[in-house]
Amino acid sequence: MPKVEITEHENLEKALKRLKKKIEREGILKVLKQRKHYEKPSEKKRRKMRSNMNKKRPRSF
């Protein structure tokens, strides 16, 4: 669980911004977005195959 300590004279918006960055770095938002809607097993398999294909593909510059 991400935590953000707020100092005595710190702005609340800055603390919220730090919290959002921390949540994003830990990948919590990504998981929440995936669980927002039901995904059929066949769609899940297809998505995983596509991501693996992108990882294996050689990149040319």
Give which of 32, 31, 25, 34 is closest to 4, Cα–Cα. 25
pLDDT band at residue 58, thresholds of 50, 70 and 90? Answer: confident
What is the value of pTM for the model shown?
0.51
Kindly give, in sequence order, each residue whose CB lies less than 8 Å from that of residue 29, ignoring residues fewer than 6 positions away.
Answer: 23
pLDDT at 61 over 90: no
Residue 15: what pLDDT?
Answer: 92
Position 41 scores a pLDDT of 93
| Boundaries of every domain in the chain | 12-56
43: its two tokens: 């769609």
- Could you report the per-residue pLDDT of 14-56, keeping only the tens digit for each? 999 999 999 989 988 888 888 888 889 999 899 899 989 888 8
Q: How far apart are the first and last CA of the chain?
A: 39
